[in-house]
Amino acid sequence: MSFLSAVSGHIEETPVDNSTYETAPATVYSSYDLKASASLSDFVPRGLERTPVQCVKSIALSGWNPPPHNLRLRGDLMYLIVTTLEGETVQITSTATGFHVSKATSNNFDPTPRQDSKAASDHSLISLLEKVSPMFATNFKKLQEFITRHHMLEVLPVTTAQPAYPWAIQQAPHTFDPTRPSEAYLNYGTDSVDSLRDWNDELQSHRELPRTNLQERVMRDRFMNKINADFAEAAARGAMDIVNGNVIPLNPLESEESHMYVYNSIFFSKGFDGRNTFKKLGGDDAAHVATGKDLEGVRSLNGADVEGLYTLGTVVVDYKGVRVVAQSIVPGIFRQQEESSIVYGSVDNGPDVKQTEVKHDEKFHEVLGEVAKALHLSEHAIEDDNGKSTNLWTSFDTKGLLGADGRRYLLDLYRLSPVDIEFLENDVAAKDGMPEYPHKLTLMRPELIQLFWEHKLRAWIQERAAEIQKRAEEKKALEGEAVIKKDKEETKEEDKKEEAKDEAAAEANSEDQVNILDFELSFNVDAFTSVKTPSDSEDAKAQQEKTVREASKFLRENVIAVLLQDFTAYVVSPIDGGSLTKAMHRRGINMRYLGRIANLANENKGPVLVHIHYLAMQEMVVRSVKRIIRKALRGLPTTHVADCISHILNCLLGHELNAKPVATLAQDGHAYAAITPESLRDSIQAETLLRYRFQLPEDFVKNISKEKKVPMLRDICLRAGIQIDARDYIFSPLTTESSEAAVNTTTESATPAAPSKKGNNSKQDKLDKHHHDKQSRKVAKSKKRSTTFQPNDVLTLLPLVKQATARSNYADEAFEAGKTSLAQGRRQLGLELLLESLALHEQTYGFLHPETARCYQALAMIYYHADEKEVAVEFQRKAVIVSERTMGVDSPEALHNYLNLGLFEHAAGRTLTALKYLKHAIQYWDLIYGKNHPDSSTADNNVAVMLQSLKDFETSCAFFERAKETQQLAHGQEHLIVANCHHVLAKAYALKADFETAIKEEQLAYDMFLKLTGPEDMRTKEANVWLQDLKLTAEFTANQESLEKALLEQQQQQHQQLGISKATSLSAAAAAASKAALAEAAIRTANVEAQVGTKGHLSLNELMDYINDNKSNSAGEAKGKKGKANASKRGNKK
């Protein structure tokens, strides 16, 4: 789903010069209330057209189908029955030559053409229906217009990625359509295609495609992405059927946790420890973690892409409280064989045999050696229960299997990363009031291993460089001695001399080069486990354990600290739990360190990391609630799912409206009905302490502010796969008196102290009426509802799908090469490489894929800085649509893309459209995080600058004020960024002609700059110049007003002396002349020309140009942030 067309409405095709506006035009921010919170009922834009125009009432296959054999020989293909909008039902015969209205009825079969006035025939069904139904002809034109109003990417199907479904929707009315049940047959036939596909053979056959040149590689990656997307879709449908009990297990007599299934040629199992495999590591909790780690392992092997080694198609689906693992079926795995097909790794010989055997295959070992280089795995010796020593690259638990098709498969890949030994030794055991951690499968992430390897590589290169430099200095000293000695010796022959010189140069070059291949660092994934090691390998084991411990310490002591530094410098600035999770995972930090990050953020002095501290706590609460919901839904009948979810949400977020909510179906005796707000808070406290080693403040959950409840609701819905009705939920009781008080408070706070523009009272009256009506509707709804959420608010439960698709290295390499060329100043080469990368992205991933969206966004920014605005806008629109459809309409990526699109549209001269995009993004920002996020000030600044260009100075100042307040909360009252906000705000008030407030703001800016940077800093000097200019301008304005007043009084006296009873005002021409004369007099009197930097003589447009020319520097300093995501938002400051 994409909202771009609904948000933009009718896009201005012709750019408009904003200087042509004499007064501020109407914008989406006219009568806008900056104090009001975003409304969830506005989550779906009002202009969204989800239902296309209806052209016929129904069209379906007629009951006379299929044609009899004798009529097939005459060319009959099928029979249709159509009910037109006029209410007439006609039977249509499709033949080899076209379509015609037949004589057939529901009771009489006669497919021959009609001969009466209703007779019609045509080669096209559309043309035939236009002849039969005039309303069809009219509405079909409207349907074509409906389609053309949307961008092509808005209507294309998502085929190579998982489509993103919104967590809140407005439910569309269910319409009668007799064709809908036949859609599956029309698309797939009577036999489902999925059930006939050999998924494993397709996956491995595509993996074996040739890759000798770029075109073959791109084609191979494209097919791999497509087959993986198809497999994930089939796996999700199969997992839902299994959880709903529609599939019979292979082992129905065993416990439900041990059930296995084969459905649509896919093997399914549940993420429980049904066979006690993880009994010593934590049981079901460890098994749940292992499924996710196994998926990571498959993704890592797919990324390594070693020829001759195969992995299973693997998808993990979380649905209705159950984790289901879907895998392609290895050929021959279900056949009874005399010998085990496992040829590498541990072999479990069954419950009756206690000894475990370890197998070794030379071919497998050789292929895995290539994998080990890519994943930095160490070869290590292990000893099985029989005392046999075996060398392995992978973990003891990983199994190499030889399939019946002759391919070598690697299974059970959850231990491709070593143990996080520091956490295992220090944080797992119960101590200091902490309960025991639920499992011992605490592994490091692959990203951390790569990060640590690169860290060690840099240190090794520096050491080698120091050694080379030392040798060079020693060599230079020796050469000096050799020169003295050489003068005393006889000169050798010229040819021998040259030969010796060449040999010496070659030897010196070989010694001075640093070969990265000489660097060795690998990890034993069995270190610190219960795996036995031969006695002769103890020294190697000790060294390998030392390496693993260093990596674990590197995570706790370096990586987390660097992440906090990035948060402090706003290199990374997450706005929701999902973006915080991505930031941690990108650096290899496991989510079990979330509590540690919250504590470190809280220990930071100052307000900079306050939002990080809150986000971390909110994320812990969301994840804890997700586990509670998962446990409550497990095994619950489908008829109770909505009641269960709404009851838990009432206990969490609706306790202010109803302190003792009761489940609607409480009488059925299910466990969830016993949950109360108090017990839920206790469970959340226990979960956060258990899994994140963090003591959540006792009142945190109970006192969640109103503006933070919707963001928390959103995160819970996204994590649990819940889709709810997009409506305004009442979280606390409302009365008529309180609502009127709220309206009055809002009105007073929204009214600026400065003089209003003409007509502002009517605007404010409309705003007051709108707000009052909205509050009244809320009061009416709250009186009807006894709880915040009701079962009808829960619309559906969606499966959460995780798959192991690898990235395309070729597209990424071309993209990085293009960016490098641009950074080096080779613009033409850089753009060519980037466009080549875009073509590779579109061919490999397709148009609708998150990676393609990032490519669109990067290209748009590059073209924007290259001053090719229209090209930038086109790429950015594509980025918006693709990010909405693949990452979510309210994802942080889509939000930032909307902000950038607004900047690009403004630069292209379509400011009114740009403001629509910015308003949409800011509204979602409030729903995602709430108010006062540090980055939201940038969006407010951008809106203010655009409104200034439209001469809406009053609203512009209001946005600058809000941006300043946000920065004060983020950085404190005295900070360079806050000082710059005062400086920018002073310019805004100067444009508004409120010189008193402008001087006050500039004085604050000057005092801060003087204190923080000193009198010689350029910012201090500029603020001082502006301060003096504003004072002179204010003085000039005051003198002008007093002279005008005196002149008016003199004119009135003259009229009275002439006998005119009533004084009249000056005419426009006279007023203009007098103002000009007064201006000249004031300028001469104040000697403005002699003042340095004075701008009092400038016209309004000239003053705006002067202010806006200086706005870029000040706005850039106010931002004070780096990073890819935030850099994109600074485009307006160029």
Given a cut of 80, whether residue 498 has pLDDT beyond it is no
Q: Are residues 653 and 736 in the same domain?
A: yes
pLDDT band of 759, cuts 50, 70, 90: very low
Given a cut of 90, whether residue 407 has pLDDT beyond it is yes
pLDDT for the residue 635: 87
Inside any domain, residue 1056: yes
* Diameter over CA atoms, the chain: 127
Inside any domain, residue 459: no
pLDDT for the residue 93: 95
Return the SS3 of 223: helix
Lowest mean pLDDT among 634-638, 781-785, 901-905, 995-999: 781-785
Amino acid at 18: N
Which among 401, 416, 431 is the end of a domain? 416
* Contact of 418 with 441, CB cutoff 8 Å: no
Q: Are residues 293 and 384 in the same domain?
A: yes
Radius of gyration of the chain (CA): 36
Q: What is the mean pLDDT of residues 710-736?
A: 90
User: In sequence order, which residues have a C-beta less than 8 Å from that of residue 1086 and are 6 or more positions away?
Assistant: 1032, 1035, 1036, 1039, 1096
Q: Are residues 26 and 74 in the same domain?
A: no
Which pLDDT tens digit goes with each residue over 564-574? 999 998 899 99
List the end-to-end C-alpha distance of the chain, in Å, as a whole number: 33
| Strands lying side by side in the sheet with 314-319 | 260-263, 266-270, 322-328, 314-319, 800-803
pLDDT for the residue 744: 42
Q: What is the mean pLDDT of residues 189-210?
A: 80
pLDDT for the residue 1101: 54
For the chain, what percent of residues have pLDDT higher than 90?
A: 57
Task: From residue 929, give the alpha-carbon distance in Å to each of 40, 651, 702, 915.
Answer: 13, 21, 18, 21
Q: Are residues 121 and 29 in the same domain?
A: no
pLDDT for the residue 536: 81
pLDDT for the residue 500: 54
Is the model's pTM score more than 0.95?
A: no
Inside any domain, residue 649: yes
Which pLDDT tens digit goes with each residue over 22-48? 888 889 998 888 888 889 999 999 878
How remote is the C-alpha of 841 from its chain's centroid? 19
pLDDT for the residue 1075: 45
Given a cut of 80, whether residue 494 has pLDDT beyond it is no
* Contact of 995 with 1033, CB cutoff 8 Å: yes
Instruction: Identify the bridge partners of residue 92 per DSSP, sorted by sequence position.
Output: 80, 101
Q: Are residues 22 and 68 in the same domain?
A: no
Q: Are residues 294 and 219 in the same domain?
A: yes
Long-range contacts of 745-752 (CB under 8 A, 24+ apart): 746/33, 746/35, 746/36, 746/771, 747/771, 749/35, 750/33, 750/34, 750/35, 752/954, 752/957, 752/958
pLDDT for the residue 563: 96
Higher local confidence (pLDDT), 1103 or 88: 88
Q: Are residues 254 and 403 in the same domain?
A: yes
Other C-beta atoms closer than 10 Å to the C-beta of 464 total 17
Q: Residue 77: phi, psi to the nearest 5?
A: -105, -45
* Contact of 16 with 910, CB cutoff 8 Å: yes
Given the structure tokens 């071919």, which residue do they identify? 363
**Whole-angstrom Cα distance, residue 611 to residue 163?**
30
What CATH number does the domain containing 872 carry?
1.25.40.10
**Cis geometry, peptide bond prior to residue 15 (ω within 30 degrees of 0):** no
pLDDT band of 480, cuts 50, 70, 90: low
Q: Are residues 95 and 232 in the same domain?
A: no
Inside any domain, residue 1116: no
Instruction: Identify the bridge partners of residue 93 per DSSP, sorted by sequence position.
Output: 79, 100
Given a cut of 70, whether residue 515 has pLDDT beyond it is yes
Choose among 419, 383, 421, 641: nearest CA to 534. 383
User: In sequence order, which residues have a C-beta less than 8 Å from that of residue 728 and are 6 or more positions away?
Assistant: 39, 40, 41, 778, 781
Given a cut of 60, whether residue 702 has pLDDT beyond it is yes
Q: Are residues 354 and 237 in the same domain?
A: yes
Q: Are residues 721 and 858 in the same domain?
A: no
Structure tokens belonging to residue 504: 């010496």
pLDDT for the residue 357: 82
φ/ψ bin of 513: left (φ > 0), alpha (ψ from -120 to 50), beta (otherwise)? beta
Burial class (CB in 10 A: 0-12, 13-18, 19+), 502: exposed
Given a cut of 60, whether residue 361 has pLDDT beyond it is yes
Q: What is the mean pLDDT of residues 210-222?
A: 90
Inside any domain, residue 608: yes
How remote is the C-alpha of 1101 from its chain's centroid? 40
Choose among 307, 277, 275, 314: nearest CA to 292. 314
Among 13-17, 107-111, 505-509, 1127-1131, the range of highest mean pLDDT: 107-111
pLDDT band of 499, cuts 50, 70, 90: low
pLDDT for the residue 1104: 55
Choose among 421, 427, 445, 425: nearest CA to 693. 427
**Whole-angstrom Cα distance, residue 325 to residue 323?**
7
Q: Are residues 71 and 21 in the same domain?
A: no
Among 218-232, 743-757, 816-830, the range of highest mean pLDDT: 218-232
Which among 914, 933, 952 is the end of a domain? 933
**Whole-angstrom Cα distance, residue 312 to residue 332?**
14
Q: Residue 184: phi, psi to the nearest 5?
A: -65, -40
Q: Residue 973: phi, psi to the nearest 5?
A: -75, -30
Inside any domain, residue 561: no
Calculate the average pLDDT of the chain. Answer: 84
pLDDT for the residue 373: 92
pLDDT for the residue 915: 94
Given a cut of 80, whether residue 610 has pLDDT beyond it is yes
- Find the helix packing angle between 809-823 and 827-844, rounded to 10°: 160
Q: Are residues 91 and 233 in the same domain?
A: no
pLDDT for the residue 1083: 40
DSSP codes joined into one string, 581-642: HHHHHHTT--GGGHHHHHHHHHHSSSSTTHHHHHHHHHHHHHHHHHHHHHHHHTT--GGGHH
pLDDT for the residue 780: 52
Which pLDDT tens digit goes with each residue over 762-808? 444 544 555 555 555 554 554 578 899 999 999 999 999 999 988 88
pLDDT for the residue 336: 64
Structure tokens belonging to residue 747: 């009105």
Other C-beta atoms closer than 10 Å to the C-beta of 126 total 12
Higher local confidence (pLDDT), 644 or 1039: 644
Which pLDDT tens digit goes with each residue over 1013-1057? 999 999 999 999 999 998 988 888 888 888 888 888 888 887 777
Q: What is the mean pLDDT of residues 200-213?
A: 93
Q: How many residues does the chain have?
A: 1134
Given a cut of 90, whether residue 667 has pLDDT beyond it is no
Q: What is the mean pLDDT of residues 577-602?
A: 96
Given the structure tokens 């294309």, which residue do they identify? 156
pLDDT for the residue 1114: 39
Helix, strand counts (H, E) of the chain:
38, 19
pLDDT for the residue 874: 95
User: In sequence order, which residues have a C-beta less than 8 Å from that of residue 331 and are 6 or more positions away?
Assistant: 200, 201, 403, 404, 405
Instruction: Tell me how many domains the chain contains.
Output: 5
Which among 416, 439, 461 is the end of a domain? 416
User: In sequence order, which residues have a C-beta less than 8 Å from that of residue 42 and are 6 or more positions away?
Assistant: 923
> Can you list the alpha helix ranges (DSSP code H) found in 992-1017?
995-1013
Return the SS3 of 784: helix
Given a cut of 50, whether residue 126 has pLDDT beyond it is yes
Choose among 666, 464, 423: nearest CA to 557. 423
**Whole-angstrom Cα distance, residue 355 to residue 488?**
79
**Whole-angstrom Cα distance, residue 274 to residue 171?**
40
Lowest mean pLDDT among 434-443, 524-533, 940-949, 1100-1109: 1100-1109
Q: Which domain holds residue 407?
A: 211-416
Inside any domain, residue 167: no
For the chain, what percent of residues have pLDDT higher than 70?
A: 83
Inside any domain, residue 806: no
Task: From residue 67, give the alpha-carbon distance in Å to each of 80, 405, 1012, 1075.
Answer: 11, 45, 88, 91
Q: Residue 171: phi, psi to the nearest 5?
A: -65, 125
Amino acid at 605: K
Choose among 1051, 1047, 1003, 1049: nearest CA to 1027. 1003
How remote is the C-alpha of 590 from its chain's centroid? 19
pLDDT band of 740, cuts 50, 70, 90: very low
* Contact of 1029 with 1092, CB cutoff 8 Å: no
